[in-house]
Each structure stands twice: as C-alpha cells, then as structure tokens.
C-alpha cells in the first residue's frame, strides 16, 4: 500500500465555511469558527491521520482585498501558504451566488498556479445542506465556469455529506511519503496562539460590530505555578488585549469590570481544556493607537 503525505489549505471568501470544514475533516475542533467574517487570523493546522495517508490542513485567514496594512500582511501570509501546499481547496458556499469576491480569488489562484509550481486547485462547494439539489446543480455549473479546477466536490461540514470523498480527493493530490507528524498530534500551532484565539473569541462575543478588527491579543507568558498548595498542577497565563481607542477599552472591560470578568471565565474554561491544567488567567486591556496601520506595532503584536 502506498502512503501519501502532504499539505492542503482552504481558501475562500470570509464565511465560506473553511474553518468548519477543517474541523469536520480533522474530526475535532481546532480552529475557531464563528458566524462573523475573518475571525481566523493565524494559520492553524489540523492533521488527518489515515492508514494510507496523512493530510495536514492549513487554515488560512481568507483571501480578501487589502484595505489596511493588516489586510496586506494577511494576504501575504495567504500567498506564502498557497505556494507551500500540495493542493488548494477553493471553498464556495452553495447558498450564495458566485460573486466578485469569488472571482477575485479565482483570478489570484490562476495567477499563483502560473507563477508557482502549478498547485492543483479543487473547487469545494460548501454548505450543500442549505440548498436544494436543483440549486446545487446550478451552483456547480457556475463554479465550473469560474476557472480551471482539477475536481469539483460539493460537501456539507454540518451533515458530513461527502466529507470522506473530499478527503480522498485531497489525498490523491499528495506526493507519496511517510507521515510527517506523529499520530495524535492535532495541530502544530504553538499553544500561545491557540490561547490567544480563545481569549480573542471570548472578548469579541456580542461586541463584534463595535470592534471587529480593532482587537489584537498577545499571550505574554504561560508559566507553571511553583506552589499550588494541594499539589495539583496550575498555570499562570498572562494575556494582553490591545485595542485602538479608549472607548473600545471601555467596551471590553464593561461596567465595573463585569464584562472582562465574563470574558476571563469563558476563555479560562477553553484554555484549561486545551492545556489540561487549572489556569489562573490574568487579562490586561491596553490601548495601542492605530495598531493596524503601524508596521512597528504590527510586528510587536505578532503580525
Ligand atoms: N448549514 C451549514 N452551515 C455551515 C457549514 N459550514 C459552515 N457553516 C456556517 O457558516 C459560518 C461560517 O463558517 P466558518 O467555518 O467560520 O467560515 P470561514 O470560511 O472559516 O470564515 P472566515 O474565518 O471568516 O474566513 C458559520 O456560522 C458556520 O456554522 C455547513 O456545511 N452547513
């Protein structure tokens, strides 16, 4: 039996279902999903282990037109990722007509496969459960006409429809080779980034409209506590949340600090599950003016 291994990534407009699909393929929640666009800022990988293959999924923040410097950095990150993978899955949600955003990404993919190594692109029609068979057929035709795809696969991450088929198709484009990661390893993303994602997700809950892109989260340190009293392991996790304006700081903190306490306890539950230890979470909210437009600050905040 030949064994294949390699990298795949999903691209697509915001909300196309990339993170949810990654989770469905990997079978465990690793990336952060939400009903709002562009919550995934970092490249988070999930790994599909099979007897005949290992598929490493790179979850990208989504190609989009750069509006701020942050947007440009994200696009570079995406392009770097695309040239490094063995196969690209271009996600197009079945419940939305092919639009200018999709055409923009399609053009970029064509350009990339010309400049790069001719990376195969599989068109993935996501959220198939949301439409009728007739509508799905129409959408598949529209997607076919959008560009040159090695395959077109309709899937539903929600119902599991064709998720196995998609895995087979992606695996078929990987080179022969041994497993790249030991089994059981779900992500090679540093723990700190996942902790930051959990805090960011909790902090944006319910206030996404007010501060969608103005929040950066940096984990300063994760240190085991020396003396925990009863001997059970405990970690001190210190996290800074950066916003651009004082008014945004007030939103995060809430009246009398009530909201920040809720954010802390919600994030802490996730972090304890992730790190497998009790956690003391120390959150600090800071104002960094116009951090999205300042290259120095972007560097310091990890972008
Ligand atoms: N019904 C249905 N909803 C889905 C499916 N896949 C994703 N969704 C929903 O679509 C929304 C967006 O999904 P995400 O996975 O966060 O999309 P994304 O492409 O990663 O989004 P960005 O991180 O913004 O680029 C969420 O509300 C999901 O629950 C699916 O197969 N069926």
Residue 177 domain flag: no
Lowest mean pLDDT, pick from 1-5, 70-74, 193-197, 274-278: 70-74
Mark whether 23 and 164 lie in a shared domain: yes
> Quick one: what percent of the chain has pLDDT higher than 90?
37
Question: Residue 9 Cα, ligand 1 centroid: separation in angstroms?
Answer: 15
Mark whether 82 and 222 lie in a shared domain: no
Question: Where does the pLDDT of residue 122 fall: very low under 50, low under 70, confident under 90, or very high at 90 and above?
Answer: very high
Q: Annotated binding residue at 14?
A: yes
CATH of the domain at 68: 3.40.50.300
Residue 19 domain flag: yes
- The pLDDT score that the predictor gives to residue 275 is 75
43 lines ligand 1 (CB under 6 A): no
Q: What is the number of structural domains in the chain?
A: 2
Question: Residue 21 Cα, ligand 1 centroid: separation in angstroms?
Answer: 8
| Residue 132 token pair | 């009728």
Mark whether 163 and 266 lie in a shared domain: no
| Residue 92 token pair | 């197009």
Domain boundary among 172, 207, 224: 172
Closest atom of ligand 1 to 34 CA is 16
Q: What mean pLDDT do residues 112-124 have?
A: 78
- The pLDDT score that the predictor gives to residue 95 is 96
Mark whether 253 and 292 lie in a shared domain: yes
User: Global pTM?
Assistant: 0.64
Question: Residue 100 Cα, ligand 1 centroid: separation in angstroms?
Answer: 19
Q: Are strands 53-59 and 4-11 parallel, antiparallel or unpaired?
A: parallel
Q: Annotated binding residue at 100?
A: no
Residue 185 domain flag: no
Mark whether 116 and 204 lie in a shared domain: no
Question: Residue 60 Cα, ligand 1 centroid: separation in angstroms?
Answer: 13
What confidence tens digit (pLDDT) does each residue in 228-271 have? 788 777 889 999 999 989 999 999 999 999 999 999 999 998 88
Mark whether 14 and 154 lie in a shared domain: yes
Mark whether 197 and 278 lie in a shared domain: yes
Domain boundary among 172, 204, 222: 172
Residue 158 has pLDDT above 80, yes or no: yes
Of residues 112 and 182, more confidently modeled? 112
Q: Annotated binding residue at 62?
A: yes
What ipTM was reported for this prediction?
Answer: 0.97
Residue 101 has pLDDT above 60, yes or no: yes
Contacts 24+ apart (CB under 8 A), 100-106: 101/13, 101/64, 102/12, 102/13, 102/146, 103/146, 104/63, 104/65, 105/11, 105/12, 105/13, 105/63, 106/146, 106/147
Mutate to test the pocket of ligand 1, among 11, 14, 18, 20 (most ligand atoms within 8 A of CB): 20
Domain boundary among 145, 172, 199: 172
- The pLDDT score that the predictor gives to residue 209 is 81
- The pLDDT score that the predictor gives to residue 22 is 86
Residue 190 has pLDDT above 80, yes or no: no
Question: Where does the pLDDT of residue 74 fall: very low under 50, low under 70, confident under 90, or very high at 90 and above?
Answer: low
Mark whether 22 and 116 lie in a shared domain: yes
If you average pLDDT over each of 162-171, 201-210, 284-293, which comes out highest?
162-171
Give the residue whose CA is nearest to atom 5 of ligand 1. Answer: 127
Mark whether 197 and 266 lie in a shared domain: yes
- Containing domain of residue 143, as a range? 4-172
Mean pLDDT over each residue of the chain, to the nearest integer: 81
Closest atom of ligand 1 to 12 CA is 19
Max intra-chain CA distance, the chain: 65
């Amino acid at each position: 039996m030949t064994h294949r291994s390699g990298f795949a990534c999903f691209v697509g407009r915001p909300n196309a279902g990339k993170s949810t699909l990654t989770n469905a393929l990997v079978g465990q929640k690793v990336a952060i999903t939400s009903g709002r666009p562009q919550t995934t800022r970092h490249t988070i990988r999930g790994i599909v282990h099979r007897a005949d293959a290992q598929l490493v999924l790179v979850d990208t923040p989504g190609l989009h037109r750069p509006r701020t410097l942050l947007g440009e950095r994200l696009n570079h990150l995406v392009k770097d990722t695309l040239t490094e993978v063995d196969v690209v899955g271009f996600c197009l949600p079945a419940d939305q007509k092919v639009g200018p955003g999709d055409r923009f990404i399609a053009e970029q993919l064509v350009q990339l496969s010309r400049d790069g190594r001719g990376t195969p692109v599989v068109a993935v029609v996501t959220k198939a459960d949301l439409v009728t068979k007739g509508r799905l057929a129409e959408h598949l035709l529209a997607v076919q006409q959008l560009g040159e795809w090695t395959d077109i696969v309709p899937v539903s991450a929600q119902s599991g429809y064709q998720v196995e088929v998609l895995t087979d198709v992606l695996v078929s484009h990987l080179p022969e080779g041994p497993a790249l990661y030991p089994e059981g390893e779900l992500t090679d993303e540093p723990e700190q980034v996942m902790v930051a994602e959990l805090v960011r997700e909790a902090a944006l809950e319910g206030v996404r409209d007010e501060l969608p892109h103005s929040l950066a989260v940096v984990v300063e340190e994760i240190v085991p506590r020396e003396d925990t009293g009863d001997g059970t392991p405990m970690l001190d996790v210190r996290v800074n949340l950066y916003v651009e304006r004082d008014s945004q700081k007030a939103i995060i903190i809430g009246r009398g600090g009530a909201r920040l306490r809720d954010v802390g306890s919600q994030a802490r539950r996730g972090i304890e599950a992730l790190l497998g230890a009790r956690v003391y979470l120390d959150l600090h909210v800071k104002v960094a003016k116009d951090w999205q437009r300042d290259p120095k600050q972007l560097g310091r905040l990890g972008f």
